Structure 1
Amino acid sequence: MDNRRLIISVVLCIALLIGWQTFSEYMGWIPEQPQPTATEEQAQAEAPAPAPAAPVVPVAKFVPSEGREVHVNTPLYEAVFHSGGGVLQSFKLKNYNASITPGSPLLNMVSPAAATVAPMGLLINGQPSWNMGQWSFDGSDVNLESGDAMLTFTGEMNGIRISRAITFHADTYLMDEKVTLTSAAGNPAARVSYSLGATDMSGKSNYDTMSMAWDLKGSLKRDTDKEDLTKEGVMSSGEIYWAGLMTNYFLSAVLPEMGQNTVFKGRITEGGVWRAAVELQDINLAAGQPAELKTSWWIGPKSRDLLDAAPNSLKSSIDMGIFTFLAVPLLKLLTFFEGFLGNWGLAIILLTILIKIVFWPLSRKSFKSMEQMKKLQPMMKQLQEKYKNDKEALSREMMQLYKTYGVNPMGGCLPILIQLPVFVALYQALLNCIELRHASFITYLPGTDLLWLADLSVKDPFYITPLIMGATMFLQQWLSPAMGDPQQRKIMMIMPVVFTVMFINFPAGLVLYWLCNNILSIIQQSWTLHKAK
């Protein structure tokens, strides 16, 4: 009973206070706030005013539109985008066919299988914008004969407005993009990823392999292990100049703006599609403040001239190894020869002749050195018998023998070692020369309608040239001065077999070079032998 009276008393007091406050305001009995004095006004004027807040850009209401295909036609390619996210559905190269078969379709860098992983798609905070957001597009198809053209795709996802402005150029495979992101609520640590996808583009050559590739601060990295890429994938972080998917001849790459900390991820899906993404981290999206991101794309052949002009050191995607300084001029010379001969096979033969002429003095010296060594064989055998139990004395007497007759025991090998870097450089040059892909020498096997050396970038389908090459090596060994050591003679006679097996699946252009080199060596040896007699 006492508690009930206490509660009623408290409620009545509160009601009385609220009523009195309301009645006083109604009657005007609450005193006005005192106005600041002149001194106070001066103090307030001298106090620093707070910094004005950044203006908030009003975001217009987003109105999605029905998705449709958007076609881009340039002198170099035919691309098909989907307006729902600006992802690629197809990318056909006008100057390259899928195979050498007559009537073969244009090479499609984005096959139907690759299109399922949304190449050129945009991910925001790990979520695919092409199917998690809403999109609109009010442009039209592009038919570009010269100059530049732009397409803009607009979308919205999780409160973030997305604008993708992609610029196409008539004279290159490079596409430039500016992404503008605007968030009403703000997101201080957004992540933006650019995706790529392709099926294996390596073709029929065993020496043309598909790989995940990226340039980390000027250092080219590659991963070709299909098993590891399927199970675990690959990841790299740092200042990545470019990253993507490539073979010896073709490249799909993302080129983020230089100076950013990026992450590259790649893997092979269970369906066999090569998928890669370049992620930009810590993108600051202040409320209502647009954030602009610039990047570029390359989807096309590894054309040396066009890659040289591309940003972010994209030319590093053509990797010619440690002898690049030799491979580049050889490739330029080969291209020059093809320019007026009109046949890459003839250009390779002419380049081989030129290289042989340059090294003619060294080759002649090598052959003469082997002839001199042959004449010393009886004396060397006597010394070996005399000092068979004293290796130190044998070595000393052998060196004295070489000195007496002015013979350099390495004279036969040194010229070959000097020529080796040239061969390796030419090997790399031919292996990475996009012009050699589907380049013909002798299209049909003589007397038949069978395709023969119709593509110098793949092996001889009938193994004719590598077998002839092996036969010329046997002939070379037969013409060369015989070694005194029977074991060495056996090893040298096995070499043609080893080389034939090694070259059996080499690209036909490389086999053609080695075959021509052997034939010229046989001619040189025969002439030198004739002069000696």
Structure 2
Amino acid sequence: MEEKKFDVQSLIGFFLIGGILLWMLYNNSFDDNNKEEPKDNIEQVESTPVDTNTQEAPSQNALTDSTAIAEAKKNLGAFGYSATLDAASGKTTTISNDVLELKLENKGGYISEARLTQFKTFDSIPVYIIKDGNASFNLRFTTNDGRVLNTENMYFQPNVTRSGENQVLSMKLKVSETEFLEYRYVLKPGEYMLDFSIRSQGLNRVISSSEPVNLDWKLKGYRHSKSISYENRYTELSWEYDGGEDDYLGQGDLKDDEAEDVTWIAFKQHFFSSILLTDTPFTSAKFISKNLVQDEDVDTLYTKDFAASMPLELKGGELNYNMNWYYGPTDYKILNDYDRNLDEVVPLGWGIFGWINKFIFIPFFAFLASFLPSYGIAIIVMTIIVRIVLSPVTYKSYLAQAKMKILRPEMNEINEKYKDNPMKKQQETMKLQSKAGARPLSGCLPALMQIPVFYALFQFFPSAFQLRQKGFLWADDLSSYDTIAELPFKIPFYGDHVSLFPILASIAIFVYMMMTTGQTMQQNQQPGMPNMKFIMYLSPLMMLFFFNNYASGLSLYYFISNLITIGIMLVIKYVIVDEDKIHAKIQENKKKPRKQGKFAKKMQEMMEQAEQQKNAKK
């Protein structure tokens, strides 16, 4: 009976203790008006931090926390103090303005979510540069007692204040109330750029000065555009170094590089970028870029994986770096307005091509877009004006072609007469062209002069942030490809859709080539040489495939440009240029003694010497 009595008493005691614990949990977690079930009470207590100052008796959770704190002090040494603070609850802190919302993790003190509030992705969801663990920011250092610690594993204590209209967030990783490592964020109204500083106070006795403090920053770029392959083509890691020079890793499955005296690092995505700037240059930095798009059908979330690693210098045993973060559009105007050389992040072309874009096309296009009803019309108007400005060059090029066309019968006679003597044939051809005032280079040079303009515009349209999600005619986004038909299969190098603007551009290019080079190609076909007519057909076809996944704004430009060029050439041919007059003038020129240029004279002398040596050997 005693054993049974003991079992009953134990059972009663178990239920009694359980009831008391449930009652304590109930009172600590809910107000008098809340009458939910005890099971729900327990769940609420587990997710809500406990106020130890008002608690009369330690709960089981508090005992567990005490054990964790002791373990933290054992592992973290002096930094174990941070585990005793409220930040150990693992919350996030949010700061925002009208264009940017940032969430920061108490654990690690870094930005864990960055949302651009004014923009949507191609599928109408908010644009996040950082979300769901795709980015990390960590300081790795060694303490005087030999521990290697990472800030991403420790808890910072947040404190949000205001300085005028600015939001100030101080995140402190504490050794004591007066000794800490601080990340300080200052967000201003309407700005994508925030002030950021790293400083320490009283840590010279904690952090070892014999080992470097290393900053590691990583980010996997989210997809934001309709074509992930096209977006990935303009996604790359770039940096500024050596007082104003800039460089980038470029494309490739795995790229890496190093630099010294680095003043900013940009994880550039096509239309949105993350940039870290520092007033105190990093003495050195290592960069890695890994391509994450191997198969567009499978790899649909991320474009590239970026990583940068930089040592931070201790001064007097303390850290003190003033920096900035930029989370925003890869927009030339916005970046250029900061006057920090950030416009180099936008790929406008090197050398003269970039200058043409910066000082001509970007301001001119912005001017047109300011009053025209759509960006598509602005592209058309700008293309028309560019072609009109270049029309004198087109005229000179066509005039040179017309002269060569008139001389072709005489050149054919020379080819037939000296078909067994290539040297003599070349000499006589040059003499004929010189007397007539018709040189092949006179047609090539005007065409070469247009290359900088064409290449600059080729760089301009894919980089124009203004075109993003702006529609025109059947294209719903001029920064991406237009679609008039979806294919039930995928064609290699072409895609699974049909874009109309590239088709129109390819037809216009084909017509232009027929007008300018079709007849010449056919008549100058040499035995054993590749079929030039086939090449003429192949070029527009290659462009059709190449541009099917490119920005429709670029295809629109090429279509209008070639259409206008065709029109200008028809006007030149049938209105301005009179081939009979050109022929008569050529005949007059042939009768006049013509002074040779130094280059032509030198070439003729060399050819004559070669001919004499050849005859002497016979």
Asked if TM exceeds 0.5, the reply is yes
Alignment counterpart, residue 223 of structure 1, candidates 249, 254, 257: 249
**Alpha-carbon separation, structure 2, partners of 1:359 and 1:81:** 53
Alignment counterpart, residue 257 of structure 1, candidates 273, 279, 293: 279
Residue aligning to 2:356: 326
User: Could you report, residue by residue, the CA deviation over 1:348-390 in whole angstroms, capped at 9, with x for unpaired residues?
Assistant: 1111101111111111222222122111111111100111122
**Alpha-carbon separation, structure 2, partners of 1:264 and 1:351:** 42
Is 1:295 the counterpart of 2:323? The answer is yes
User: Could you report, residue by residue, the CA deviation over 1:222-262 in whole angstroms, capped at 9, with x for unpaired residues?
Assistant: 23455325xxxx35241112114112322112212234413
Q: What displacement does 1:472 show? A: 1.7
Residue aligning to 2:169: 151
Q: 1:518 to 1:85 in 2, by over 3 A?
A: same
Alignment counterpart, residue 80 of structure 1, candidates 103, 128, 131: 103
Residue aligning to 1:436: 467
**Alpha-carbon separation, structure 2, partners of 1:249 and 1:64:** 40
Residue aligning to 1:527: 571
In the alignment, residue 110 of structure 1 is paired with which amino acid? I
Is 1:495 the counterpart of 2:514? The answer is no
In the alignment, residue 134 of structure 1 is paired with which amino acid? Y
In the alignment, residue 88 of structure 1 is paired with which amino acid? I
- Equivalent residue pairs, number: 448
Alignment counterpart, residue 409 of structure 1, candidates 440, 456, 461: 440
**Alpha-carbon separation, structure 2, partners of 1:492 and 1:411:** 22
Is 1:399 the counterpart of 2:435? The answer is no
**Alpha-carbon separation, structure 2, partners of 1:250 and 1:163:** 28
Contact 1:215–1:240, Cα closer than 8 Å, also in 2: yes
**Alpha-carbon separation, structure 2, partners of 1:269 and 1:128:** 27
**Alpha-carbon separation, structure 1, partners of 2:504 and 2:343:** 37
Residue aligning to 2:548: 504
Q: 1:525 to 1:421 in 2, by over 3 A?
A: same
SS in 1 for 2:231: coil
SS in 1 for 2:439: coil
Q: What displacement does 1:193 show? A: 1.0
- What are the ranges of 5 or more consecutive residues in structure 2 without an aligned counterpart? 1-78, 143-147, 293-300, 484-497, 526-530, 579-618
Q: What displacement does 1:281 show? A: 3.5
Structure with the bigger percentage of helix:
2
Q: 1:121 to 1:519 in 2, by over 3 A?
A: same
In the alignment, residue 408 of structure 2 is paired with which amino acid? Q
Contact 1:64–1:155, Cα closer than 8 Å, also in 2: no
Contact 2:109–2:155, Cα closer than 8 Å, also in 1: no
| 1:182-261 equivalence runs, <5 A | 182-183=202-203, 185-186=205-206, 187-189=208-210, 190-201=212-223, 203=225, 204=227, 206-209=229-232, 210-217=235-242, 218-225=244-251, 227-228=253-254, 234-261=256-283
Alignment counterpart, residue 473 of structure 1, candidates 498, 509, 520: 509
In the alignment, residue 216 of structure 1 is paired with which amino acid? Y
**Alpha-carbon separation, structure 2, partners of 1:528 and 1:312:** 48
| 1:44-83 equivalence runs, <5 A | 64-65=85-86, 66-83=89-106
Q: 1:235 to 1:493 in 2, by over 3 A?
A: closer
SS in 1 for 2:253: helix
Alignment counterpart, residue 317 of structure 1, candidates 337, 345, 355: 345
Is 1:161 the counterpart of 2:180? The answer is yes
Task: Identify which range, 80-89 or 203-212, moves more after superposition.
Answer: 203-212
**Alpha-carbon separation, structure 2, partners of 1:241 and 1:511:** 37
Alignment counterpart, residue 515 of structure 1, candidates 556, 559, 581: 559
Alignment counterpart, residue 499 of structure 2, candidates 453, 463, 481: 463
Residue aligning to 1:136: 157
Task: Identify which range, 202-211 or 241-250, moves more after superposition.
Answer: 202-211
User: Could you report, residue by residue, the CA deviation over 1:106-127 in whole angstroms, capped at 9, with x for unpaired residues?
Assistant: 200012141xx43x44444574
Q: What displacement does 1:184 show? A: 5.6
Q: 1:111 to 1:488 in 2, by over 3 A?
A: same
Q: 1:311 to 1:333 in 2, by over 3 A?
A: closer
Residue aligning to 2:396: 365
Contact 1:188–1:284, Cα closer than 8 Å, also in 2: no
Q: 1:250 to 1:326 in 2, by over 3 A?
A: same
Residue aligning to 2:491: none
User: Could you report, residue by residue, the CA deviation over 1:422-451 in whole angstroms, capped at 9, with x for unpaired residues?
Assistant: 010111111222112222222xx4xxxxxx
Residue aligning to 2:113: 90
TM-score by length of 1: 0.77
Q: Which has the higher contact order (CA 8 A, sep 6+)?
A: 1
Q: What displacement does 1:530 show? A: 2.0
Residue aligning to 1:51: none
- What are the ranges of 5 or more consecutive residues in structure 1 without an aligned counterpart? 1-58, 446-452
Q: What displacement does 1:134 show? A: 3.3
Contact 1:205–1:459, Cα closer than 8 Å, also in 2: no
Q: 1:507 to 1:267 in 2, by over 3 A?
A: closer
Contact 1:160–1:184, Cα closer than 8 Å, also in 2: no
